[in-house]
Chain A
Amino acid sequence: MVGGMAHAATIQVGTSYPVKSIKQALEKAADGDTIRVHGGTYREGNIAIHKSVALMGVDNPVIDGEKEHEQFSVFVPYVTINGFTVIASGKSSIRDIAAIKVYDTHHATIENNILDDNFFGIYIQSSKQCTIRNNKLTAYGETEQLTGNGIHSWKSDSLYIAGNTIVGHRDGVYLEFVTHTEVRDNQALDNRRYGLHFMFSHQNGYYHNTFSRNGAGVAVMYTKQVRMENNTFSENWGDAAYGLLLKDITDSHIEHNVFSRNTTGILMEGSNRVQIQRNQFEGNGWALKMQSSCMDNELTQNNFVQNTFDLATNGSLKLNRFIRNYWDKYEGYDLNKDREGDVPYRPVSLFSMVVEKYPMAMLLFRSFMVTLLDRTERVVPSLIPEDLKDDAPMMKPVAL
């Protein structure tokens, strides 16, 4: 690669240059060349890249797929696609047509592109060491079936996905069998289904992303050793919407995230050994729903503020640990002034258990009857799981 760069040529493409089309330029180019594509609209069908070149867009060249084609297909390593506006890919329910698709290779770099009205946006298939950075993806599918995923990756390794904005796709970022990947500073907003969706994607990290107003929030499944830090999960509202759905997630860390105004902040199912630390749960319907299939999870130093229910469960959660969290509903006292409450806090209220079993009971939310029952139950727990408690609740919110 370095040797190639030394005598790399630059080919200019545009209406005022001898080379008029990108396909022509690709025929002329050798490995390591740079192709500079100047402003204008290019309708060239499918542009298949079989040479290790850098495609650089100058003045926003528009690549139009005319609702029929896959605009860019990358088959070789060390390809860069930078600065293009890629619009109107084909749509198909048989083939996954994407605006930019990378097939079985490595070191592809896709950055600073604007992708508009495509089926899939950027599709990485069986590839390694690819960078997807600072792209803007927008789709307008009416239903989940009519639109593909924004950044879709399958069976890949060591990707770097950063600074992208994904709006209106099916899933914002979708990863399946993708390992050692970093997903950072992305915004997934108003996507039809999930903002982030991954399965069997071990040892990945998600940092400083924002997932807002997605149809069903974020769903992550069947994965080990995930790190999720400093992300924002917000405004995911609806019957089946979660800030974050954890299904069979093990040995993972969820730290310094903000969960605000979701129907359910986190829903955990079959998840073990997850550390949930220093997160902010604010204004959610349910801050945390933990099914009894979860064990050995540890929740410490989280803030629970203005949630309708702090915790709901269908079991006793005996095997999980809640300690040193701040609960705004805590009414205990701190005589020895160590900033930890002297009486334990029970985050599950009787009413939240009733609602879990009989959703219609929500009809009685905040009625005296219910308040009375909750109070009595909190003083003398008989129906709520007795061991489910925070033994050292914080008196003041934890500084995050």
Chain B
Amino acid sequence: MNKIIKYVIADLLRSRAILVYAVVLFVLAGSVFSIEDNADKGVVSLLNIILFVVPLVSIIFSTVYLYNSAEFIELLVSQPLKRKTIWLSIFTGLAGTMALAFLIGVGIPIVLYSFTPSGMILLLCGTILSVVFVSVAMWAAVRIRDKAKGIGLSILLWLYFALLFDALVLFILFQFSDYPIENGMIAVSMLNPIDISRILILLQVDLSAMMGYTGAIFRNFFGTGWGMAITALVLLLWVAVPAWFSTRFFERRDL
């Protein structure tokens, strides 16, 4: 297993795309922090970039990588190795590299400019998002054999999480505004890892706006130990569930 992980990581680093990704993140984060005089404002500006770029790059890059290494995977399958081990090793390698690139690209500027709780949460959320979207990409790639269709699906998935889901939430809000939907809405927001990350970070940064009516509800949930535990669990589920589904499918698939 370790050998495969090592090989995947080495292969990814050789392709340079990851390197470019890390450098772009680094430049973006560095310039955002040097323009904004207020560190918290920098975190907010960076938040928008991270919630947009990180899921997109993670999901597309992973999908493309998986299709490109189809032959390598076939080769591995022909060896006396468990399919589960192969698939999870590839997942670990991919997720580890994406998270590493993010941690280097954004982590260094954050540690330099904004070594605050909000900065740390941003870093944590970005890392988890990287892993979550690698996991989703694994699922998309294993479900669809055709490369073009597969990449199309992963773009659609990204679009759904980044944009369509929020439109849906807005729609639900308008339709059911006469009912006590507060707790329900928090539950609904759990269905999107990007939303969870956004709310977690905003609770750290945009305090004054979050102190209002809705803010009180958020804080009652996310501010408590239980709320935090549930949120962390949900984020972990977002990593585990697609990975588990894709592994199960990969084990049974006729290559």
Q: Which residues of A contact B (CB under 8 A)?
A: 237-239, 241, 261-263, 283-286, 306-309, 354, 357-372
28 pairs, A vs B, C-beta closer than 8 Å: A238-B216, A239-B211, A239-B212, A263-B208, A263-B211, A263-B212, A308-B206, A358-B177, A359-B214, A360-B177, A360-B214, A361-B170, A361-B173, A362-B209, A363-B173, A363-B185, A363-B186, A363-B199, A365-B202, A365-B206, A366-B44, A366-B48, A366-B198, A367-B194, A367-B198, A368-B48, A368-B163, A370-B166
CA distance A364 to B199 in the complex (A): 8
How many angstroms from the CA of A237 to the CA of B186 in the assembled complex? 22
A309 engages B170 (CB within 8 Å): no
Are A359 and B212 interface neighbours, CB within 8 A? yes
Cβ contact within 8 Å between A363 and B214: yes
Chain B residue with Cβ nearest A365: B202
Shortest beta-carbon distance, B207 to chain A, in Å? 8
Interface string of B160-190 (1 = CB under 8 A from A): 0011001101100110010001100110010
**CB pair A369 B216 closer than 8 Å:** no
Chain B CB count within 10 A is highest, among A361, A366, A371, for A366
Number of interface residues of B (CB under 8 A): 38
Whether, in the assembled complex, B34 has its beta carbon less than 8 Å from a beta carbon of chain A, the answer is no
User: Which one of A261, A285, A307 lies within 8 Å of B212 (CB-CB)?
Assistant: A285
Tell me if B47 counts as interface (CB < 8 A to partner A).
yes
16 new A-B contacts, CB < 8 A, other than A357-B177, A360-B182, are A237-B207, A237-B211, A238-B216, A285-B209, A285-B211, A358-B174, A359-B214, A363-B189, A363-B195, A365-B206, A367-B198, A368-B163, A369-B167, A370-B166, A371-B48, A372-B163
Q: What's the Cα separation between A129 and B211 when bound, in Å? A: 42
Q: Which residue of A lies closest to B205 (CB)?
A: A366
CA distance in complex: A80, B167 (Å): 67
The A-B contact count (CB < 8 A) is 93
With the chains together, A232 CA to B231 CA distance in Å?
38
Give CA–CA (A370, B195) in the complex, Å.
12
- Determine the distance from Cα of A306 to Cα of B173 in the docked complex, in whole angstroms: 27
Is B96 at the interface (CB under 8 A from chain A)?
Answer: no
- B209–A369 contact, CB under 8 A? no
Chain A residues in 8 Å Cβ range of B169: 363-364
Q: Within 8 Å CB of A286, what residues of B? A: 209
Question: Measured between alpha carbons, how far is A387 from B249 in the docked complex, in Å?
Answer: 58
Q: Chain A residues near B41: list those with CB within 8 A.
A: 306
**Does residue B213 face the partner (Cβ distance < 8 Å to A)?**
yes
Q: Are B211 and A238 in contact (CB under 8 A)?
A: yes
Within the complex, which residue of B38, B166, B194 is in contact with A306, where a contact is CB–CB below 8 Å? B38
How far is it, in angstroms, between the C-alpha of A357 and the C-alpha of B173 when the chains are bound?
11
Given contacts A239-B216, A358-B177, A360-B182, contact A369 B211 (CB under 8 A): no
B179 to chain A, nearest CB (A): 11
* Cβ-defined contact, A261 with B173, below 8 A: no
> In the complex, A73→B195 CA distance in Å?
61
**Does the CB pair A369–B202 fall under 8 Å?**
no
